[in-house]
Structure 1
Amino acid sequence: MPTFKRIISYFGDYKASLALGIFCSGLVAICTIFPAWIMKSVVNDVLVDRNIAALHWIALALVVVMFLKGIADFVRGYLMHYVAQSILRVIRTACLDRLLALSLSYYEKQRTGQLMSRITADVMILQNLLTSFTSLIGDFIAFFGFCAYIFYLHWKLALISIVIIPFIGGLINKFSRKMKKIGSRMQSRIGDISTVLQEFITGVKVVKSFTLEEFVKDRFEQANGANFAETMRGGRINAATTPIIEFINTCGLALIFWYGGYEVIRGNLDAGQLISFLTALVGLFVPIKNLSKMSNVISQSVGAGERVFEIIDAPLDVEEPADAVKLPNCRGEVEFENVSFAYNNNEPVLHNVNIKVLPGEVVALVGPSGAGKTTFVNLIPRFFDVSNGSVKIDGIDVRTLSLASMRQFIAMVPQETLLFSGTIEENIRFGKLNATQEEIVEAARLANAHDFIITQPDGYNTILGERGVNLSGGQAQRIALSRAFLKDPGILILDEATSALDSETENLIKESLNRLMANRTTFMIAHRLSTVIRADKILVLQRGEIVEIGSHSQLLGQQGLYSQLYRSQFSEQVAM
């Protein structure tokens, strides 16, 4: 069971705590066996011989032993809680580290809800195994301790008792296999629920504007119903495990009582030994029952662990070389040399692209949907690796550069602005984490954001909701531009930053964009061709190839694809 071994391997950094926890579990197990051992004296010395001294020491011994058991159980429980939480912290961090290192191609193949479910729900399931690990060892100690004791008392009775254990083991194994499968499916169903909720919350405006509430309810009910059905299957198995095992135990106990009573009548066993044996046998059923439950916990934890480790083990398709070169500064020269790119070895999205952009040039990318514009700009900060050829910044292949040193000189302003939960100041500070308050205010002024920020209830300390939903689209866009100003990049990538805005806001953003683009190499993805007229170069892409290059006036004169697109948009605007 490699996944189980891998989960347990995390205990390696907590050997001292684990050793003390195991010691305490062993002490608890020994204290658990003690009442069965003392029952022989209770019956023979106290009840039969009426020995008052024996009564005193037995009562005192029981109090002392149970006190020790309580202390040991507390220490074990606290230690294992500490160790489990420490390990879960390490696992969550490992998941986040891998997610941060993975390229965009990984996220394009994953559902957000499933990823969130793995890092939250699946990791929490591992807690059940981690906190119970020393209890598991303690149950094994108690199991073998009780077995040794009953063989010591009467080996024939013990043999009869042991006969029922294989039946119990077979049932445990059967239930475990079923619970492992169901546990994995249960977590998948929870991920489906998370996905539906995440998509609804993210796209709540679309849902309401298209009156898709019933559609969302149906999708949620399907996911919720599937989760309910799977959970009930697991519940039935869990509910059946204990009573079935207890029934088999009771049948065995009745047989033992009958044969033991017969041995007492024949004089081969005294009453104290029989009562002690029966007490030990009842005690033996406790670790068996606990172990049967633990088998289900292990099965569910292994299923959850497999899903968590799929994230941690996800292969990196964009890796930084061991001898990566740091980019000390950035002039802004960008060159695509015979670049081709395909997603997952499918048909190329870009094919044999060659272009050299000089420092400070403004380059617009235009073309029909699916032409490869977004893919083109995503190759510059190395969000993906080229399939063939090379992308160079200041003459250096980006694959040889340190990702952090390269990306610190690149700023992206996407069409859909993402603001994080936190204050306005914190959102701007993402452009430069060690920025001063003065630098943040200056960046906001350059982005034409300062005036509306100071009208907010707490100014720069105003708390923003998830995705900045308490700001207008234009205000959120100006916060994003403030972030870019603060970063002071050598290369700027814009994805139609002025789309879907009112004319007044659009003019403010255009004004700030002109400041931002000054003396910076800029790549603009243009959906509205009116925004690219002043670009130094316009790259016209079609089916992954650059089919035209030139200025606005040059391309209009060529009467090619750009001219067609421009006149088509102009005609639509006139018609409107």
Structure 2
Amino acid sequence: MEQRIPMPRTSVFKRLLDRVLARFIPMANRSLLYRLLSENLRAQAPWYALATVAMLIVAAMTSMSAWIMKDIVNETVVSKDMQRMFFLAGGVATIFIVKGIATYFQIVILSKAGNNIIAVTQKRIFDRILRQDLNFFIKHPSSDLVMRLTNNAQAARSVMDLVLTSAVRDLFSLIGLLVVMFIQQPILSLVTLILGPAAFLGVRYLTKKVRDIMRQELTAVTKIIEGVQEASTGVRIIKAFGLEEHMRERMNQSVTQVEHRANSIARLSAATSPIMETLSGLAIAGVIALSGLWVVGGDKTPGELMSFITALLLAYEPAKRLARMRINLEAAMVGVRMMYEIKDHPIQLTEAENARPIPEEGGGEIVFEDVGFSYAPDKPLFENLNLVFSAGKTTALVGASGGGKSTIINLVMRMFDPDEGSIKVNGLDLRQVSFASLRAHMSYVGQDTFLFNGTVRDNLALGREGATEEEIVQAAKDAHAHDFIMNMPQGYDSPVGENGGNLSGGQKQRLAIARAMLRDADILILDEATSALDSYAESLVQDALKRLTKDRTTIVIAHRLATITSADNIVVLENGKILEQGPQRELLAHDGPYRRLYELQILPQLEEA
């Protein structure tokens, strides 16, 4: 749904802009263009004002170069006044020097303003992305977001530059040259203009085909980015299963699609040139023939004829650019539209107007009260779910995949909001808690450990802003990560690589645990936090986790029951329902789901031992 934001209330400018844009831009894109202009014109007004002055100078000098041809020819052919000729030569040099300087400043100033538009747009899009919930990232793959953050932001700059240069430089250059033509040869100028509208009609037909092709091309480019990302992150699977040829074929198909569509757009865009060349050639040929008769049989001077023909020839380039403007603008507006789809995407998770910090009293108790939640309509995962994570205690969530364990964690971290009921921390509904307070009170270690591209120290320091070197090293020691860190080439300054590519799975997980320890939060969430560790490393980390979880509200997801034997409460989930809960000794005291899981998993290990 497009949001129309009106331009500033300058009625004369608005009416003029409407009339100009109506010739080049369909109504569907006009409101989108007004919005783009309104968001960027004010911020870039000083630069665009300077660029406009420079472009007006270019337009004026272009017209002057045609006008001065009258005196040059007349002085050369008729009067043969050498002093006058030297004066005119200096005038020509001055015209082109001024035009060159103005062109330079126009390019530099527009580039500065355009680069700022790209930077501001990318910051706004990225900020909007960060504020979205998990559903947004499920629906929008990373390759799509990369495309919208890069190419679409560039499209916004292209549209601004195109509108400004066409509306100022090309339009005023054409107007100035037409003035010269009408002053020198008014009747011939009218004859020339007869063929002008025909060119725009031909271009208008081509424009209709550009929009769909451009969107298809951007989609195919997204597939290329996606292929590169998958090849980078999934290289082990690709190598292990011999999928190189499969990946190569997918990439070749995407690249070929982009190539074909780029060729289609090039053909449509290039078609404007033959139209303009043909019409301009016919016009110039006819005008030269008529002007010859006019000069031979009339009282017109050769200088007037040359000035007219020069203006006619110079008018060709700005007229051609104006004719192609609609096609170029239509292609760029596809990217702008896709950019605004992200900027206008509703934010489902919002902070309450009077959001408060988590109350200090309560010790981190989390309570689910009649919680209902579903990922898809008419398919509820939770209905009237009631669950308590006691303050300072460890609660383990077990059960088959799809039972709702990860969803409970996501709800606690407020990645989603419940459809019904409430989730309270220390008695305050999560929807009333400020995001900053919620994040400050929670620490998370996931099964799929994520590390940022940087050094070991950089990743650990993200656990708590302002942590000292001693605190960072102590957290690493507590997570039994210090020894392997010191064995790395640069110790704590060693790069971990993209998503920890320079480390083993166990090393990555120990760094993640150290990061969580450094955070020292009241609420600790462990999602299979030791799944990538070998038996020896796991025993070391389990010892560290016992110290970490002491007196903290801890939520643990575990598939290996041996890691949760000391949990204060074990909750067995299946299809979004709590089958049973309690300490392990109580759950093993009767024949229930947990005991059956225990017998399937633990008893065989004891027998083997």
Equivalent residue, structure 2, for 1:28: 58
Assess, with a 3 A threshold, how the Cα gap between structure 1 residues 74 and 572 changes in structure 2: closer, same or farther. farther
Q: Which residue of 2 aligns with 1:408?
A: 440
Letter of the 1:31 counterpart: M
Percent identity over paired residues: 35
Corresponding position of 1:2: 31
| Secondary structure class of the residue paired with 2:37 | helix
Deviation at 1:452, TM superposition (A): 1.4
Aligned length: 576
CA RMSD of aligned residues (A): 1.7
1:204 partner letter? V
Alignment correspondent of 2:467: 435
Which of 478, 489, 493 pairs up with 2:510? 478
The yes-or-no answer on 1:143 pairing with 2:174 is yes
**8 A Cα contact 1:77 1:131, kept in partner:** no
TM-superposed CA distance for 1:346, in Å, is: 4.5
- After TM superposition, the structure 1 = structure 2 runs for residues 294-333 of structure 1, keeping only pairs within 5 Å, are 294-327=325-358, 329=360, 331-333=363-365
Q: Mapping of 1:128-277 within 5 angstroms?
A: 128-136=158-166, 137-277=168-308
Q: 1:75 to 1:299 in 2, by over 3 A?
A: same
State the shift of 1:561 in Å: 2.0
Aligned position for 1:116:
146
Range with bigger deviation, 174-183 or 153-162:
174-183
Tell me, which stretches of 5 or more residues in structure 1 are unaligned? none
Q: How far, CA to CA, are the matches of 2:186 and 2:468 in structure 1? A: 80
Confirm whether residue 40 of structure 1 aligns to residue 70 of structure 2: yes
**CA contact under 8 A between 2:479 and 2:513: conserved in structure 1?**
yes
Q: Deviations over 1:348-370 (max 9, x none)?
A: 12221101222111111111111
Q: Residues 9-36 of structure 1, C-alpha deviation per residue, up to 9 Å, x if partnerless? A: 2121121211111111011001011111
- Could you give the per-residue CA deviations for residues 53-88 of structure 1, whole angstroms, max 9, x where no partner exists? 321111011111111111111111111111111111
Change in 2 beyond 3 A, CA 1:154/1:533: same
The 3-state SS of whatever aligns with 1:354 is strand
Shift of 1:403: 0.8
Question: Does the 8 Å contact 1:342/1:350 carry over to 2?
Answer: yes
Give the 3 Å change call, closer, same or farther, for CA 575–6 of structure 1 in structure 2: farther
Q: Which residue of 1 aligns with 2:12?
A: none
What per-residue deviation string (whole Å, max 9, x for no partner) do you get for residues 402-441 of structure 1?
A: 0111111111100011111111000001111211111111
TM-score (norm 2): 0.91
- Residue 65 of structure 1 aligns with an amino acid whose one-letter code is I
- The C-alpha deviation readout for 1:248-297, integer Å capped at 9, x for no partner, is 21111111111221222220533221211111111111101222343333
CA positional deviation for 1:42: 1.4
Counterpart of 1:235, as a letter, is A
Structure 1 Cα separation of the partners of residues 480 and 359 of structure 2:
30
- Matching of residue 11 in structure 1 with residue 31 in structure 2: no
Contact 1:350/1:376 (8 A) holds in 2: no
2:481 matches 1:452: no
Structure 2 residue identity aligned to 1:225: T
Letter in 1 for 2:333: V
Worse-superposed segment, 195-204 or 560-569 = 560-569
1:377 aligned onto 2:409: yes
Q: Is the 8 A contact 1:328 1:405 kept in 2?
A: no
Within 2, Cα distance between the matches of 1:172 and 1:144?
Answer: 20
> Are the counterparts in 1 of residues 359 and 428 from structure 2 also a CA contact under 8 Å?
no
Please tell me whether the aligned partners of residues 452 and 459 of structure 2 are also in contact (alpha carbons under 8 angstroms): yes
Displacement, 1:238? 2.5
Verify the 8 A CA contact 2:369 2:421 in the aligned structure 1: yes
User: Counterpart of 1:106?
Assistant: 136
Please tell me the residue identity of whatever aligns with 1:59.
A
Q: 72, 77, 85: which one pairs with 1:55? A: 85
Q: Secondary structure at the match of 1:343?
A: strand
| Separation (CA, whole Å) in 2 of partners of 1:152 and 1:278 | 12
Aligned partner of 1:507 in structure 2 is 539
8 Å CA contact 1:339, 1:350 repeated in 2 = yes
Code of the residue aligned with 2:456 in structure 1: it is: I
Q: Which stretch of structure 1 is more off in the superposition, 325-334 or 225-234?
A: 325-334
Counterparts of 1:342-361 in structure 2 under 5 Å?
A: 342-361=374-393
Is the CA contact (8 Å cut-off) linking 2:117 and 2:156 kept in structure 1? no
Segment of structure 1 superposing worse, 210-219 or 99-108: 210-219
1:138 Cα deviation after fit: 0.8
Retained in 2: the 8 A contact 1:392–1:398?
yes
Match of 2:123 in 1: 93
Alpha-carbon spacing, 1:252–1:98, altered in 2? closer, same or farther (3 Å): same
Match of 2:454 in 1: 422
- Structure 1 residue 517: deviation in Å? 1.1
Contact 1:80/1:130, CA 8 A, preserved across alignment:
no
Q: Work out the CA distance in 2 between the residues paired with 1:293 and 1:82.
A: 25
Q: Any conservation in 2 of the 1:80–1:134 contact (CA below 8 Å)?
A: no
What is the CA–CA distance in structure 2 between the aligned matches of 1:219 and 1:518, rounded to whole Å? Answer: 51
- Partners of 1:252 and 1:300 lie apart in 2 by 30
Counterpart code for 1:474: G
Is the Cα–Cα contact under 8 Å of residues 349 and 375 in structure 1 kept in the other structure?
no
Match of 2:106 in 1: 76
Which of the numbers 399, 419, 424 marks the counterpart of 1:367?
399
**Deviation of residue 344 (structure 1)?**
4.4
Taking the aligned partners of 1:575 and 1:195, their CA distance within structure 2 comes to: 48
Per-residue deviation, 1:214 = 1.6
SS at match of 1:482: helix
Q: CA deviation at 1:574?
A: 7.6
How many Å apart are 1:3 and its aligned residue?
A: 2.2
Name whichever of 430-439 and 382-391 sits farther off: 430-439
Counterpart amino acid of 1:283? L
In structure 1, the residue corresponding to 2:581 is in which secondary structure?
Answer: strand
* One-letter amino acid of the structure 2 residue matched with residue 183 of structure 1: M
SS of 1:325's equivalent in the other structure is coil
Picking from 571, 587, 593, the partner of 1:555 is 587
Give how far 1:502 is off.
Answer: 1.6
Distance in structure 1 (CA, Å) of the matches to 2:242 and 2:259: 27
Instruction: Name the CA distance, whole Å, in 1 between partners of 2:547 and 2:602.
Output: 27
Q: For the Cα contact (< 8 Å) 1:419–1:467, is it kept in 2?
A: yes
Residue 6 of structure 2 corresponds to none
2:105 counterpart letter in structure 1? V
Instruction: Determine helix, strand or coil for the equivalent of 1:422.
Output: coil
Q: C-alpha separation between the residues in 2 aligned to 1:268 and 1:157?
A: 15
2:528 to 496, 501, 520: 496
Shifted more, 195-204 versus 341-350: the winner is 341-350
Question: How many Å separate the matches in 1 of 2:41 and 2:586?
Answer: 68
Q: Which runs of 5+ in 2 are unaligned?
A: 1-29
- CA displacement, residues 78-131 of structure 1 (integer Å, 9 cap, x when unaligned): 111111111111100001110111111100111111111111222223333334
Residue 536 (structure 1) shift? 0.8
- Aligned-pair distance for 1:162? 0.8
**Deviation at residue 328 of structure 1 after TM alignment:** 5.8
Q: Give distance in 2, aligned partners of 1:274 and 1:514.
A: 96
